[in-house]
Homo-oligomer: A and B are copies of this chain.
């Protein structure tokens, strides 16, 4: 059994930490909102006052944080993980953050003798609770081998996709694909309804099973037909991931003009107070633009 630190006990981190405790590991946790640690400390975890204190008590430190600056702060800030005297364990970052910065983070930790695996996930809160998340892991062979037994506790489909940063890169591509597929369905459905010839529901049913079929057509397409936008995956989180994609595209000089339309629709949802809605609500943006254009 391992000594594991866990920083960030939100929707994803909380259940994953509980699964690690249930598997018999010794957990030390820290989180910005201390009340969030209660279910985990009740299950047997120790609470530490800072990420450095977590690291001092651990051989592995999991991170599950909102965005790139949060990961930077927890690792390199005052009382950060890297400032813990003598810590030479492995950091496993399950957050979804910038792939480029992740490459640098891994290098900076390596200079201090700390291992690193980026391990963003998909599968949502349900996957975190049930311990069957999909994990896209980046890191050296030896770091990945060390992380694997723990990743297998929290996930089911663990893919080692390349060096540090590769996991975040695959996650970025995943979010690009889902966003663009959502936008395609939104455009097709609004086109169908404005034609007056066929309802979005009938159109969706007719093309399902053919070359136009996709997981988003099945799941999010139904949400669009029903106009039920309880998340699922919140638009504000997808918008955040879309900014990561956009930054990566700018840094690599990759034209992603089609995805950019999806990104802007997600941002528009956030700007208009609908960031808490499921990302399938992008159909509302297409519908509103159509109405504005024809006024």
A176 interfacial by beta-carbon distance below 8 Å: yes
Q: Say whether A177 contacts B212, CB under 8 Å.
A: yes
Q: Is the CB of A173 within 8 A of B197?
A: no
A176→B157 contact, CB < 8 A = no
Q: Flag if B177 contacts A254 (CB, 8 Å).
A: no
Q: Which of B169, B202, B254, B261 contacts A261 (CB 8 A)?
A: B261
Q: How far is the CA of A122 from the CA of B213 in the complex (A)?
A: 12
Given contacts A170-B206, A180-B180, A214-B214, 19 further A-B contacts (CB under 8 A): A136-B207, A161-B198, A166-B197, A170-B203, A173-B188, A174-B206, A174-B212, A176-B187, A177-B185, A177-B212, A177-B217, A191-B245, A191-B248, A191-B254, A195-B248, A211-B219, A257-B261, A258-B262, A261-B261
- CB atoms of A259 and B294 under 8 A apart: no
Chain A, 164-208, contact with B by CB distance < 8 Å: what is the 0/1 string?
Answer: 011001101110111111011101111110110111001101110
| The residue from B99, B185, B203 contacting A195, defined by CB atoms under 8 A apart | B99
Give chain B residues whose Cβ lies under 8 Å from the Cβ of A289: 255
A-B contact pairs, 7 of them (CB 8 A): A136-B206, A161-B202, A169-B191, A170-B206, A173-B191, A190-B255, A253-B294
A146-172 near B? 1/0 per residue, CB < 8 Å: 000000000001010111011001101
How many Å from the CB of A249 to the closest CB on chain B? 6
CB distance B173 to A203 under 8 Å? yes
Write out the residue numbers on chain B whose beta carbons fall within 8 Å of the beta carbon of A212.
173-174, 177-178, 181, 215
Q: Which of A189-243 contact B (CB under 8 A)?
A: 189-192, 194-195, 197-199, 202-203, 205-207, 209-217, 219
Residues of A whose CB lies within 8 Å of any CB of B are 99, 103, 122-123, 134, 136, 138, 157, 159, 161-163, 165-166, 169-170, 172-174, 176-181, 183-185, 187-192, 194-195, 197-199, 202-203, 205-207, 209-217, 219, 245, 248-249, 252-259, 261-262, 286, 289-290, 293-294
